[in-house]
Amino acid sequence: MWIEKLTEGLLRVLTPLGPRYIRPSFRQRLYLVWIFRNFQVLPMQVLSNRQRRLVDDLCARQNFVSPVLADGVEAPLLGTFERRPPIEEERPPRRPSTSVGEVPFAADAKQRP
């Protein structure tokens, strides 16, 4: 299986527009097999600077290919990078904070007649 990955493997990059498939060179495939030795999907945040540069260079060339080979069989995947922007959640509005001086303590309440 890893021989097929080295000879015909594709890299899948998940983008906001959908998955993109890239055919790296043999040396890049060898390095990517090493990167994905323990995981099939990795977020960009866990990559080193060198690994991020490799993915950025591969995406910048925009040599995207189809995941289906000429004989109709899907190409083996080296792995998948999640290149998605962080999702910003809408949070409910916060209550205005009260300053410390405005909040009475229980001990102060007992002393006041």
pLDDT tens for 8-44 read 889 999 988 889 999 999 999 999 999 999 999 999 8
Residue 29 neighbours by CB distance under 10 Å: 19
pTM score, whole prediction = 0.68
Count of C-beta atoms within a 10 Å radius of residue 36: 19
Is 98 a domain residue? no
Residue 71 lies in a domain: yes
Residue 110 located in a structural domain? no
Q: Flag whether 99 is in a domain.
A: no
Residue 111 included in any domain: no
Which residues is 11 bridged to in the sheet?
22, 79
Number of domains in the chain: 1
- Residue-number span of the structural domain to which 34 is assigned: 2-82
